Amino acid sequence: MKLVPSSSSRGAWPRPPACLRADQLALPSDGARVSVAGLVILRQRPGTAKGVIFLTLEDETGVVNVIVWRAMYEKFRRAVISGRMLRVTGRMQRAHSVTHVLAEEIEDISFMLDRLVAPDPRQALPHAMPALGRTETWDSRS
């Protein structure tokens, strides 16, 4: 099963307190301290980047580019390497119409994915029964 962030996902998209969505990153000024959260969809560590890692996070509204300098990578290594969903706090950087967050703190919040993918047991799931020409409701509680 592929996780695709969208506002139509079952239940609410898990969001740690005080985190901006990707579509809100045009609001803070250059250099402002912000927090963002999202699924890690890309990790890049180019050989020419002198220890810098580039992360791309995705939330229900878009993507966020994150720059992790070598010192921050060493401090938050485990989260950067193995986190599937991260909360990043850092400074906004705008250059040539590209927005980045320069990471100062990185937290692995992969445990929040359970809320995104877990079925809501209070909802019945409709299943089409084409051979019978009708739709039946299946309740996981029975």
The pLDDT of residue 88 is 98
Unique residue bearing structure tokens 């898990």: 14
CA proximity to 6, closest of 60, 49, 47: 60
- What DSSP string runs through 84-130? SEEEEEEEEEEETTEEEEEEEEEEE-GGGHHHHHS--TTSPEEEEET
Query: For residue 135, what pLDDT band results from cuts at 50, 70 and 90?
Result: very low
Query: For residue 97, what pLDDT band results from cuts at 50, 70 and 90?
Result: confident
22-119, which class in CATH? Answer: mainly beta
The pLDDT of residue 106 is 98
CA proximity to 14, closest of 108, 83, 113: 113
Residue 34 burial (CB count, 10 A) = 18
pLDDT above 90 (res 5):
no
More confident residue, 42 or 126: 42
The pLDDT of residue 142 is 42
Residue 85 burial (CB count, 10 A) = 23
Unique residue bearing structure tokens 């939330």: 59
Per mean pLDDT, which range of 33-47, 76-90, 92-106, 127-141 is the poorest?
A: 127-141
Q: What are the E-state strand segments in 4-78?
A: 33-44, 53-59, 62-68
Task: Give residue limits of the domains in the chain.
Answer: 22-119
pLDDT (tens digit per residue) in 77-96: 999 999 999 999 999 999 88
Cα–Cα distance measured from residue 118 to residue 33, given in angstroms and rounded to the nearest whole number: 32
The pLDDT of residue 123 is 52
pLDDT above 60 (res 130):
no
**DSSP 8-state code for residue 20:** B
The pLDDT of residue 48 is 82
Name residues whose C-beta falls within 8 Å of residue 1's C-beta, 6 or more positions apart in sequence: 117
The pLDDT of residue 118 is 63
